Structure formats: structure tokens, C-alpha cells
Amino acid sequence: MDIAKRAKELSADIVSLRRELHACPEVDHELPLTESVVVRELAKLGLDDIKSNQGKKHGVFATLKGSRAGNVLAIRADMDALPVKEETGLPFASQNGFMHACGHDAHVAMLLSVARILSEQREDLPGTVRFIFQPAEETVYGAVSLIESGALDHPKVDEIIALHTGNIWRGVAPGRVGYRAGAMMAATNVFKITLRGKGGHGAMPHLTVDPIVMAAEVISQLQTLVSREINPFDPAVLTIGKIEGGTVNNVIAESCEMRGMFRTFDIKVAAFLEERVIATAKGVAEAMRGSADVEFVSSLPPVINDKAITLKMRDIVNDVLGEGYAQELEFPSSGAEDFAIYLQKIPGAFFFHSAALGGERDYPHHNPKFDIDESVLWTGAASLAAYALQR
């Protein structure tokens, strides 16, 4: 089979599926409609096994056994949308207050087409392919829930790949696949700091302990962790994204809450920052006669691509789609992905697939006007299917 030709023949089907999913987005683990579309399409293909209602809810994984000997490869697509009200004006735009503002609808459509191509090529398929359709990537618990449900077992998966479409990496031409061996995406640690003081009247601040002033000092000191305590050659970013405290202008509050996160590409740096965030918040609060509680709400490890798998995909993409269709990324992304959880269990690699529209038509991921160039989605499907057949 000419994989590129077959994938291009399926382009209209990929677009149709993407639009069907785009019109009815669902979030977190609550994906009954999305799950039903996935199961409906997989049931047409004569796969060896389809398991639905996996993970906490509505995850799906399916298995295709090839006729030739080989290892077990998993290919993953995330399925969940975001709590964003769509403003694209598209004829198939969501009307339910949620939105596929990150391209996951396209990921599902592409992987369903990959399953179709590989089922047609069972005689030439070496080993077994596990297709994983995962909820809750945006809330970072989807990968864990599917792994606990057995997505990487029976048979045991040897390696895993996935891609993300959209316009995350500037400079990658539409339809091309961005690759990078080693660090691909960042580790993230989300934290909540609760500062407690002593409330009172704003006219008599000497009788109070002001947690909002405390918060201002904590924020200032946290910024020095990156600028003064981290090696300049170890990238790190620390952000306080939310601060909330007080009720009216003339009352000093009892408490103030801050939420933030830091990102890095090294788990040792992440561990160091976690320790220092706790020490800084507690130390500043104590020095100002208050107290601080620090809670780490969630964390993800960095996405570290296996070099051999990454370069194998590079060669396959250039062979199947044409020289230059695989483009090396100069820098990793400071975004995060729970695909990293799979990579802690087995070797694998994560790729970027450009579906940029160009010019002022490109809005950032998670923006209410985000959209993609549907006409190039077939190249993503072709890349994944070709890897399964040629690895």
C-alpha cells in the first residue's frame, strides 16, 4: 500500500469525523458522546479487541494483531475538550459552552483513520498495535487512569508514540511533522499557597497581621528562585497565576490564597524548586508574624523522547511523505503533556504536527477562536500508520 496515497484518500473522512467531534465537545473524564463515536468507528474495522468505559470513565483502547511477527506498539490520541466558549463562527462550532480549542478532535479523527489503514494492512503489519483514546489530558489525570485500567498490558506494550496538531511550534510548515530527541515538553508542578494572618480594621494595621502584604513579599521572593538559585543553563519558569484575599477596601483579611506553577525540563530542578517554594512561603510568612500552608495540587514529569524512536519516525516521515516533511525542532516547548506518564513506563516519542492556517488566522491553543487547517490532517495519519508498518 502507498500509505501517503491511502491517507490522502481518507482526508474527507478525517475532516468529517473531526467536525462531528468538534460540534459536541466534552471535558475531563465525562466523554460519553465522544466515546460512542470512537467505538462506532472502531467496530467497523474487525479489530481483535475493543475495550470501552476504561479509566475513570469513557476511555477506549483497542487492539489489532498483525499477521507478521513483531513487538507491540501503542498509539495514543487524547479526546477531551476545554471549558471555553467557542467564538470561531464555524458552521460546526460548539454550542454547549465547551470547545475543542486544542486540536484533540483532530487527534481522535486521525487515530481512527490510522486504525482503518492498519486494519486494511493486517497482512503486512509486524506485531500488534494498541490504539489508545484517552480522556482528561487537560486535567492531567487521563494517562494515569488508562494505565491503571491496563492500556499498556495484555499484551504488554513495548513502545508508544503520539502527535499533537495545531500551531504550537512556529516555523514548522503545515502538514509537516516536528521532531526532537530528548526533552520535548516541560515538567509542571502546580501549587497552592494559603497565607494566614490576623484580620482587623484598615485604620489600625498595627493590630493586624496582613496576609495580602505577606503575599506580595512571597511573590517577590519566589521570582528570585529562578533568577538566583537555578543554574542559567537549566531552563525554568515560575508563575503566580491567581491571588485572592480580602472582601472590602477597609478590612484587613484573615487569609490570602495564591495559586501558581513552575515548569522545568529536569526532575532534579523540579524537586529543588518544590522544596524552595515551601521554604520561601513559610519563611516569609513566619518573618511577618503569619503562617503559610503549601499544597502541591498536581505535577507532571517532562516529556523525554527516546532518541532511536524519534529518529526512526524522522526517517519514515521523510520516506513516506517526502524529504523535508520531518522538521527538527530547535527548542523544546515549555508546555506540558500527560503523555509523559506513558514515557515513564515504556520508551516512546511525542511529535508535533503542524496544522497552522497562516497569518492572522492562527490563534493560540486554548483561545476561543482557535482553529486548524483540516486539509493537512491526513499527513499526521500517514505518519503514524507508516511508523506502525515500517518500524
The 10s digit of each residue's pLDDT in 54-101 is 999 999 999 999 999 999 999 999 999 999 999 999 999 999 999 999
pLDDT range class, residue 262, cuts 50, 70, 90 = very high
pLDDT, tens digit, 9 for 90 and up, residues 208-232: 999 999 999 999 999 999 999 999 9
Q: Residue 276 burial (CB < 10 Å; 0-12/13-18/19+)?
A: buried
Q: Note the pLDDT of residue 169.
A: 82
Average pLDDT, rounded, for the chain: 97
User: How high is the pLDDT of residue 1?
Assistant: 74
Task: pLDDT band for 391, please (50, 70, 90 cuts).
Answer: confident
Q: What is the mean pLDDT of residues 308-327?
A: 98
Integer Cα distance of 371 and 366 in angstroms: 10
Q: Averaged over 120-125, what is the pLDDT?
A: 96
Cβ within 8 Å of residue 331, ≥6 positions away? none
For residue range 366-387, list pLDDT tens digits in order: 999 999 999 999 999 999 999 9
Report d(CA 242, CA 51) in Å as an integer.
Answer: 40
DSSP character at residue 157: P
Please count the CA atoms within 13 angstroms of the CA of 310 that sit on its side-chain side.
20
pLDDT at 248: 96
pLDDT of residue 85: 98
d(CA 63, CA 242): 43
Confidence class for position 191, pLDDT limits 50, 70, 90: very high
H helix intervals, 288-351: 307-320, 339-345
- Which among 25, 136, 140 has a CA at the least distance from the CA of 84? 25
- Rounded to 5°, the CA angle 354-267-141 comes to 60
pLDDT of residue 26: 98
| Strand spans (E) along the chain | 49-54, 59-65, 68-78, 126-134, 159-166, 177-179, 182-185, 187-196, 200-201, 236-245, 251-252, 255-264, 291-300, 303-305, 326-328, 348-354
Q: Are 174 and 180 in contact (CB under 8 A)?
A: no
Say what the pLDDT of residue 148 is: 97
pLDDT tens digits for range 345-355: 999 999 999 99
Which residue has cell 513566619? 286
